[in-house]
Amino acid sequence: MASFDMNVSMSEITWTLAIQGFGVGCLWVPMTLVTFSNFDPRRSAEGMALFHFVRSVASSFYISASFVVVFHTQKMNYSELVQWINPFGDRLSLALATGGWGPESSTSLSGIAGEITRQATNIGYINVYNLFLWASLLAYPLVALIAWPPRGYRPRS
């Protein structure tokens, strides 16, 4: 998803989400199985409730951090991109390249500001997709460290 641009197609999004769903299943299913296999059967209801509570709270923090990354990097990139737009540069002199935008009217200036906002937001989402990538790459090796079957496991006969 970090390679998405403003012209991403629906088929690219569909395939990416299918792969993402597979990856999430490869992470959460083993972690849930191992967690529940270590519960004392008398305490399994409380353990499951606590596990899902911690998972929900941690997911909420992660989602909030994602929004912070998107909006913070959007502001930073907007301030970097806007410095390249000024009435004295060559960038606004080519009417075909700018779509008719120019510094002459407030409508043109708002169009330029809107496009800069779109591009800065796109960069913010690319940054958060890179955050997702690195966080998942750090989490997947932890699945390999899981001892299976759990310690003290005795098969029932």
The pLDDT tens digits of the residues spanning 102-135 come to: 666 777 778 888 888 999 999 999 999 898 888 8
- Domain ranges for the chain: 10-144
Residue 94 region, left (φ>0) first, then alpha (ψ -120 to 50), else beta? beta
Residue 60 region, left (φ>0) first, then alpha (ψ -120 to 50), else beta? alpha
Is the predicted pLDDT of residue 151 greater than 80, yes or no? no
pLDDT score at 95: 57
- 113/60 Cα distance (integer angstroms): 32
Render pLDDT for 43-59 as a digit per residue (tens, 0 to 9): 888 888 888 899 899 98
Q: Which of 11-25, 67-81, 99-113 has the highest mean pLDDT?
A: 67-81
Answer yes or no: pTM beyond 0.85.
no
Q: What is the mean pLDDT of the chain?
A: 81
Portion of the chain with pLDDT greater than 70, in percent? 80
- 77/74 Cα distance (integer angstroms): 5
- 66/82 Cα distance (integer angstroms): 24
Is the predicted pLDDT of residue 65 greater than 80, yes or no? yes
Portion of the chain with pLDDT greater than 90, in percent? 23
Q: H or E segment at 105?
A: none
b/e burial code for range 12-23 (CB count within 10 A of at least 16 → b): eeeeeeeeeeee
